[in-house]
């Protein structure tokens, strides 16, 4: 936690990132009262495909709905799916990594073989395959993100666990013949946690981009749920006449992803071992 504080206090990038994340968050939360008109309400024929103007600052779409309002609502999908998908990936990856690092070498080989197997695929193909087996929805997207994103975390956690495993205090704990889960939870996990949090922070940006692509393909948010990716797909169909339909949602995605990446980078710099300060030093006097 102190690392997070450090990241925000000293790093301008971290502060900027935080702001860029808070903006869509607030907009998503307050979309109801703040949005001009009702973003879900289909408009009249006269209100369709209007260019940006004072009454509709970001224009309207082919069904006459206000783009700004939909933009604010759409943040909900991206943030919710991005965070939950990464959470799932990180949970799964940590479990696998801990088991591989602490367990018998046969278990380690089996789990790493499984990890390598999943890593042999371009993620998008796996995603498409999994998305094909169920009905499209945001929950599906989150699940798919978790199911295809755990491998990197597993490798990281395994490497860190293997290193920790031979540290004297962990060896001492192992010599107590504690049950594996207790050893992992008490002595390994607390030391692995900062790394895991960092890995999560660095992956949210990518998850948001993935969700937007899947929604663009029609596999994510379904009407009436609003998603930036789906808005871009809508905009693609009207690209020639109404550039604003595709442009603004993309910018929103980009800014949100940039914000998460900046925060993640700031966190990584704060946790960098070279920046010093993991090693304890004796302070108490006397013997």
Partner 1 sequence: MSAPRLLSCESLRVAYPGPDGGREALRGVDLALDAGEVVAVVGPSGAGKSSLALAVLGLLPSRSRVSGVLRWRGEPVAPGPAHRRLLGRDIGMLFQDPLASLDPVVRVGDQLVETLRALRRDGSLDAHRRSRELLAEVLLPDPAAVARRYAHQLSGGERQRVALALALAGDPALLVADEPTTALDAAVGAAVAGLLGDLVRRRGMSLLLVTHDPRLTAGLVDRVLRLESGRIAAGAATVAVVGEVDGPAGEAGPCADAGVGAPALSCRGVEVRYPGHGGRPDVVAVRGVDLTIGAGSSLALVGESGCGKTSLARAVCGHLRPAAGEIEVGGRPVGGRPRRAAQMIFQDPYSSLDPRQTCGDAVAEAARAAGGTAAASRLAAADLLAAAGLGPGIAAQRPHALSGGQRQRVAVARALAARPVLLVADEPTGSLDPDAASLLIEVLRRFRGDTGCGLLLITHDVALARRTCREVAVMFAGHVLEVLPAGAVPSHPYTRRLSTGGEGALIPPDLAGCPYASRCPLVEDACRSALPDLRSLVPGHVSRCPVTAGNPETH
Partner 2 sequence: MIRDLLTRLATALLLVLAALSLVFLMARLAPGDPVEMLRDPDLDAAGRALLRQQYGLDRPLAEQYVRWLGGVVLHGDLGRSLRLHREVSDILAEAVPRTLLLTVTAYLVHLATAIPLGVWMARRRGSAAERAVGALGLAVNSLPAFWLGLMLVLVFARGLGWLPASGMHAPDHAALSWSARLLDTLRHLVLPVAVLGLATAVGTARYVRQAVLEVLESEFVTAARARGLSERAVVWRHAVRNALLPVVTLVGLNLPALLGGAVVTETVFAWPGMGRVAVEALWARDYPVILGATGLSAVMVVAGNLLADLFYRVVDPRARSGGEGRT
**Residues engaged in binding partner 2 (CB under 8 A):** 113, 116-126, 128-134, 205, 209, 212-213, 216-219, 229, 232, 235-236, 239-240, 243, 246-247, 249-250, 253-254, 257-258, 261-262, 265
Confirm if 27 and 34 have CB atoms less than 8 A apart. yes
Q: 191 or 238, CB closer to partner 1?
A: 191
Tracing tokens 């006397």 back to the chain, one arrives at 286
Give phi and psi for 191, each to the nearest 5: -85, -20
Q: Which residues, 6 or more positions from 89, have their beta carbon under 8 angstroms from its beta carbon?
A: 145, 146, 147, 148, 149, 150, 153, 203, 207
Q: Is 269 in the site for partner 1 (CB under 8 A)?
A: no
Angle, vertex CA 192, rays to CA 187 and CA 198, nearest 5: 160
Q: Is 171 in the site for partner 1 (CB under 8 A)?
A: yes
Residue 187 interacts, among partner 2, partner 1, none and using kind-specific CB cut-offs from 5 to 8 Å, with partner 1
Binding map of partner 1 across residues 118-147, x = CB under 8 A, - = no contact = ------------------------------
Query: CA–CA separation, 129 vs 112, rounded Å?
Result: 22
Sign for the pseudo-dihedral over CA of 122, 128, 129, 130: positive
Residue 178 interacts, among partner 1, partner 2, none and using kind-specific CB cut-offs from 5 to 8 Å, with partner 1
In 112-226, the DSSP E strands lie at none
Among 190, 223, 240, 273, binds partner 1 (CB under 8 A): 190
CB of 84: closest distance to partner 2 in angstroms?
Answer: 19
Which residues are near partner 1 by CB under 8 A? 166-178, 186-187, 190-191, 275-276, 279-287
């Amino acid at each position: 936690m102190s690392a997070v504080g450090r990241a925000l206090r000293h790093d301008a990038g971290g502060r900027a990132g935080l702001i860029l994340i808070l903006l869509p968050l607030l907009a998503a939360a307050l979309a109801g009262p703040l949005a001009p008109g009702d973003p879900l309400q289909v408009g009249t024929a006269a209100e369709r495909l209007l260019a940006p103007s004072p009454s509709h600052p970001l224009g309207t779409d082919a069904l006459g709905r206000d783009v700004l309002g939909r933009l604010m609502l759409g943040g909900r999908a991206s943030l919710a799916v991005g965070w939950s998908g990464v959470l799932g990936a990180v949970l799964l990856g940590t479990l696998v990594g801990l088991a591989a690092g602490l367990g018998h070498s046969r278990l380690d080989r089996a789990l790493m073989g499984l990890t390598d197997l999943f890593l042999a695929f371009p993620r998008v193909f796996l995603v498409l395959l999994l998305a094909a087996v169920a009905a499209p929805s945001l929950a599906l997207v989150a699940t798919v993100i978790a199911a295809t994103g755990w491998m990197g975390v597993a490798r990281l956690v395994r490497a860190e666990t293997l290193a920790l495993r031979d540290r004297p205090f962990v060896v001492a704990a192992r010599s107590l013949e504690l049950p594996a889960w207790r050893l992992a939870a008490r002595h390994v996990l607390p030391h692995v946690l900062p790394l895991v949090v960092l890995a999560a922070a660095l992956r949210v940006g990518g998850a948001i981009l993935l969700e937007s692509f899947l929604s663009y393909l029609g596999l994510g948010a379904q009407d009436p749920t609003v998603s930036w990716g789906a808005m871009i797909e809508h905009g693609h169909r009207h690209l020639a006449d109404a550039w604003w339909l595709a442009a603004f949602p993309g910018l929103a995605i980009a800014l949100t992803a940039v914000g998460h990446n900046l925060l993640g980078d700031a966190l990584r710099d704060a946790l960098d071992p070279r920046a010093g300060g993991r090693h304890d030093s004796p302070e108490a006097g006397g013997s």
